[in-house]
């Protein structure tokens, strides 16, 4: 597969400079105002029919809820996520109550978009975000007990990056984005 290894240029610096760090500065403190701004950014994301099928559980080091989340991290994410100034558990409302009826067929899609907003807002605030799935989904779900219809999807560690972006960042080429879904013409 052809990959474009050129550093991103021409796109907005908030997008070009974003990366998911594997090291956070443990001394960074995220105040309530900053936390509120991150949640506001997610809140204003578009969604199918304005269904806004997203929810979050936030915790910062030192808060009792932080330990409730940290104990469910996989060893691979615990190495760096525990140093982050904020951990966000993301949830999508997939179903109506405890029925099989879809709340919105776009629930996961919409949540992803809200997270993208949060990530760019974080970047604008000089913070970095690392989204991850490396945690005990069953254990965390039992721990937090979301309402029927709600499912935990992912987690995000946010804080000040304590490392530079990697030199090499793989991305599929734009040409591949446009051609991959279709077979080559005869």
Ligand X SMILES: Cc1cc2nc3c(=O)[nH]c(=O)nc-3n(C[C@H](O)[C@H](O)[C@H](O)COP(=O)(O)O)c2cc1C
List residues binding ligand X (CB under 6 A). Answer: 19-20, 77, 131-134, 154, 169
Q: Which is nearer to ligand X, 134 or 137 (CB)?
A: 134
Secondary structure of residue 163 in the 3-state scheme: coil
d(CA 35, CA 12): 23
Distance in Å, CB of 29 to ligand X, minimum: 24
Distance in Å, CB of 134 to ligand X, minimum: 3
Find out whether 51 and 106 touch, Cβ atoms under 8 Å. yes
Place of tokens 């999807």: 153
Q: Which is nearer to ligand X, 30 or 92 (CB)?
A: 92
Q: Which is nearer to ligand X, 123 or 154 (CB)?
A: 154
d(CA 118, CA 129): 9
Q: Which is nearer to ligand X, 5 or 99 (CB)?
A: 5
d(CA 3, CA 131): 23
Find out whether 182 and 176 touch, Cβ atoms under 8 Å. no
Distance in Å, CB of 31 to ligand X, minimum: 25
Distance in Å, CB of 47 to ligand X, minimum: 18
d(CA 169, CA 132): 17
């Amino acid at each position: 597969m052809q990959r474009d290894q050129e550093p991103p240029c021409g796109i907005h610096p908030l997008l070009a400079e974003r990366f998911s760090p594997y090291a956070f500065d443990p001394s960074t403190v995220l105040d309530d105002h900053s936390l509120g701004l991150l949640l506001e950014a997610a809140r204003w994301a578009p969604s199918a029919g304005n269904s806004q099928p997203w929810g979050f559980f936030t915790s910062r080091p030192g808060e009792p809820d932080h330990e409730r989340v940290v104990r469910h991290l996989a060893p691979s994410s615990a190495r760096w996520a525990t140093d982050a100034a904020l951990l966000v558990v993301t949830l999508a409302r997939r179903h109506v109550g405890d029925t099989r009826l879809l709340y919105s067929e776009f629930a996961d899609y919409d949540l992803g978009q809200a997270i993208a907003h949060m990530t760019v807002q974080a970047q604008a605030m000089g913070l970095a975000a690392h989204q991850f799935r490396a945690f005990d989904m069953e254990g965390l779900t039992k721990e937090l007990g979301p309402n029927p219809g709600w499912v935990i999807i992912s987690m995000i560690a946010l804080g000040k990056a304590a490392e530079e972006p990697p030199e090499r960042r793989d991305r599929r080429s734009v040409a591949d984005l446009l051609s991959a879904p279709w077979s080559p013409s005869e």
